[in-house]
Amino acid sequence: IFTKDFKSKVADKGWKEGEPVPYAALVATFEQIEATTKRLEILNILTQFLLVVAKRDTDPGGTNLLKTVYLCINRLCPDYEGLELGIGEMILMKAIAESTGRNVKQIKEDLKKEGDLGKVAMASRNNQKTLFKPKPLTVTTVFQRLTNIAKTSGNQSQAKKVGFINQLLSACQGNEAKFIIRSLEGKLRIGLAERSLVVALAHAIVLKDNEGKKLSPEAMSQKLDEGAEIVKAVYSELPTYDIIVPALMKGGVHHLRENCKLTPGVPLKPMLAKPTKAITEVLDRFEGKMFTCEYKYDGERAQVHLLEDGTIAVFSRNSENMSAKYPDMVEQIPRCIKEGVKSFVLDAEAVAYDVQEKKLLPFQELSRRKRKDVKAEDITVRVHLFAFDLLYLNGESLLQKELRERREILKEHFNPVESEFGFAKASDSSSTEEISAFLDESIKDGCEGLMVKMLTTDSSTYEPSRRSMNWLKLKKDYLEGVGDSLDLVVVGAYYGKGKRTNWYGAYLLACYDPDSENFQTICKIGTGFSEEQLKAQYEELHPLEMSKPRGDIEVGGAKPDVWFEPKIVWEVLTADLSLSPVYTAAHGLIESRGISLRFPRFIRQRDDKDADDATTAEQVAEFYQRQATAGNKKGGGNAED
Ligand code: ATP
């Protein structure tokens, strides 16, 4: 299956079975991926490369393949272990300067011209006269050194990091420095989405395991499709390559389901809901089916795990371990477990609670908590857990069971505890009047609205990581607008005028396109901020300033005064959406033009979302299409003033 180009540039890099993977081979693969935007071509290139790596990897645990996989998605470990790259521009510039004998000022100037620090590093490195050719880098060494850099903390950590990066850059040849720098920045920006990697990994293993067998193209194609489905499904239940890659190397795709199952301690990606604008829309969707309406609590999603050894862990929507933020919840949990429960995974919402008044408090009360090392004396607001699903119990995954059954098992094995633990309040009634009354009741009790869920049939299984039509959200406040708020990334800012000159006065926001891994600009937002908010925003965003828009921002006609590393996510409300000559959001999905938000209003910062969890281009297009009034669709967008 190798193309000629691939063979000469990658596969024949002089690396034999049992030998470590040369980093140069990975970089050559990255270059080929970067040169195309076609998803099938990207998949093919990556499959070929992973196949070669897998075939030449003689380690029974597939270490070489595992590290290659991690470097392809620029991660060092599973999400929940929390070790991340993302080194600031200044540290990187210092390291490039030191390792290439130039000064930071020159590097800065080059960056202004070039716009990509990776390319600046590569050019600086290649212009350098060196007496000895450095020893070629391998995937394993690069992985190890990146891990060391990410782990460096404490005293003098900046200087230590510069030292380590300097060392790594000095060993780079050809265009390796470009990708080392991009890895350190936190993103490769070659348009390689993680879902393509999962499929490529599956295809590579299927091809390896069927080599030499005389299969018809149809039979092979079926095997590839089946393999991809299996690996995707397993990964959404057990999102860790640390277990999946060795299992694939040992038993191929067909034994993967037996060997890799939902496991307490490894958070799975939560099931998500689709927005709706009206009760009638809910009824249309669920017509003739059994469904349930639950209170939509306004808190923070909490996936609570009890491991066989008695450990209790709480994970956020993003798979971050939050046990240190909620020591009180960890302490409360044992009181709600009935006898005989040895392990579980619970899906729930953690809500701020007023114990005296016995009422729910707004989410903001909890968001003020530190994220780590919370001590008993720091806790001013109590947390109440509302469980709405049970995904695993005593060694058995419940994902494939109907919601009605999961809910029964949940209630059989857990006890409500006053002011600490309860089940999400639910009503299984199905007339418009009853749903409307339940929606009003939920608001009166301090919730955001309702979650409406399929209760029986195959459509009511738990679908990890999917935004499913089998879960609908009905948010009272947003029924008037587009049905939901949007979570957008702050990618730029405009300086303020008058009294606001010390801070930014307005911001440029973007949505995320997971296919291209790019951020697409969507609107300028500048009204409704208090002085206090503007000041706090400046303090948080100023360190993220970049000299040029990063390569993964599709700028369009936006012209902010400063650009940011895409990191901070804000929840924003809009009156409606319109086509725009200026912004790039969802371009190509509805029309060649992008879409923009009209009259955007800031609601809150979403610390529980990363930039790549932002509202997607596809969701923006869906919001636009669902707008009731045709008149809104013709607008010219909120062009930059
Ligand atoms: P999304 O998760 O859809 O991207 P989001 O994180 O902004 O968006 P919402 O749009 O507010 O979340 O809706 C889904 C969230 O509602 C869940 O992730 C969960 O935290 C919360 N939630 C509250 N009550 C329930 C419930 N009964 N069932 C499911 N989720 C609930």
pLDDT digits (tens, 9 = 90+) for 585-636: 999 999 999 999 999 999 999 988 989 999 999 999 999 988 744 344 444 4
Indicate the length of the chain as a whole number: 641
Evaluate if residue 641 carries a pLDDT over 60: no
Evaluate if residue 274 carries a pLDDT over 90: yes
Best residue for ligand 1 mutational test, from 269, 301, 462 (most atoms within 8 Å of Cβ): 301
Residue-level pLDDT at 9: 62
Q: What's at 128, amino acid-wise?
A: Q
**Sole residue written with tokens 């590839």:** 224
CA distances from 457 to 55, 469, 520 (A): 43, 14, 38
pLDDT tens string 435-465: 999 999 999 999 999 999 999 999 999 999 9
Residue-level pLDDT at 639: 47
Pinpoint the alpha helices (H) of 9-82. 23-34, 39-56, 63-72
pLDDT tens string 358-406: 999 988 888 778 777 888 888 888 999 999 999 999 999 999 999 999 9
Phi/psi for 569 (5° steps) reads: -115, 130
Percent of the chain with pLDDT over 90: 72
Interface ipTM: 0.96
CA of 464 to the centre of ligand 1 (A): 14
Q: Judge if the beta carbon of residue 463 lies within 6 A of ligand 1.
A: no
Active site residues: 296
Q: Which of 106, 116, 96 is nearest to 170 (CA)?
A: 96
191 pLDDT band, cuts 50/70/90, is confident
Percent of the chain with pLDDT over 70: 95
Q: Measured from the CA of 300, which atom of ligand 1 is nearest? A: 20
Contacts (Cβ under 8 Å, ≥6 apart) of 532: none
Q: Judge if the beta carbon of residue 301 lies within 6 A of ligand 1.
A: yes
CA of 447 to the centre of ligand 1 (A): 11
Contacts (Cβ under 8 Å, ≥6 apart) of 608: 300, 301, 316, 317, 318, 320
154 pLDDT band, cuts 50/70/90, is confident
Half-sphere exposure of 109 (CA within 13 A, CB side): 6
Residue-level pLDDT at 1: 47
Measure the CA–CA gap between 241 and 62, rounded to whole angstroms: 11
Q: Which of 611, 616, 614, 617 is nearest to 84 (CA)?
A: 611
Q: Judge if the beta carbon of residue 450 lies within 6 A of ligand 1.
A: no
CA of 380 to the centre of ligand 1 (A): 25
CA distances from 525 to 426, 441, 494, 565, 574 (A): 37, 33, 10, 18, 11
Q: Judge if the beta carbon of residue 182 lies within 6 A of ligand 1.
A: no
Residue-level pLDDT at 11: 57
Q: Which of 26, 182, 153 is nearest to 82 (CA)?
A: 153
Q: Judge if the beta carbon of residue 297 lies within 6 A of ligand 1.
A: yes
Please compute the mean of the pLDDT values over residues 197-225 and round it to a whole number: 95
Radius of gyration of the chain from Cα atoms? 26
Residue-level pLDDT at 349: 97
Evaluate if residue 12 carries a pLDDT over 70: no
pLDDT tens string 163-188: 999 999 999 998 999 999 999 998 89
Please state at what angle helix 176-185 crosses helix 117-126, rounded to 10 degrees. 150
CA of 273 to the centre of ligand 1 (A): 7
Residue-level pLDDT at 483: 74
353 pLDDT band, cuts 50/70/90, is very high
315 burial level (CB within 10 Å; 0-12, 13-18, 19+): buried
Q: Which of 459, 482, 490 is nearest to 606 (CA)?
A: 490
Measure the CA–CA gap between 270 and 262, rounded to whole angstroms: 12
pLDDT tens string 50-103: 999 999 999 989 999 999 999 999 999 998 998 988 888 889 999 999 999 999
CA of 348 to the centre of ligand 1 (A): 10
Please compute the mean of the pLDDT values over residues 215-235 and round it to a whole number: 95
Residue-level pLDDT at 527: 81
13 pLDDT band, cuts 50/70/90, is low
Query: In the numeric block, which tokens belong to residue 84?
Result: 């991340």
430 pLDDT band, cuts 50/70/90, is confident
Q: Judge if the beta carbon of residue 451 lies within 6 A of ligand 1.
A: yes
Residue-level pLDDT at 38: 86
Please compute the mean of the pLDDT values over residues 6-19 and round it to a whole number: 71
**Sole residue written with tokens 């004998």:** 101
Mean pLDDT score across all residues of the chain: 91
pLDDT tens string 485-526: 999 999 999 998 766 677 899 999 999 999 888 999 999 999
Contacts (Cβ under 8 Å, ≥6 apart) of 482: 275, 277, 574, 576, 577, 623, 626, 627
Q: Measured from the CA of 296, which atom of ligand 1 is nearest? A: 24
Select the more confidently predicted residue: 195 or 139.
139
**Sole residue written with tokens 């079926």:** 222
pLDDT tens string 316-345: 998 999 999 999 999 999 999 999 999 999
Q: What's at 336, amino acid-wise?
A: C
Residue-level pLDDT at 630: 39
Q: Judge if the beta carbon of residue 475 lies within 6 A of ligand 1.
A: no
Residue-level pLDDT at 6: 63
Q: Measured from the CA of 609, which atom of ligand 1 is nearest? A: 6
Nearest 5°: the CA angle 534, 539, 541 is 90
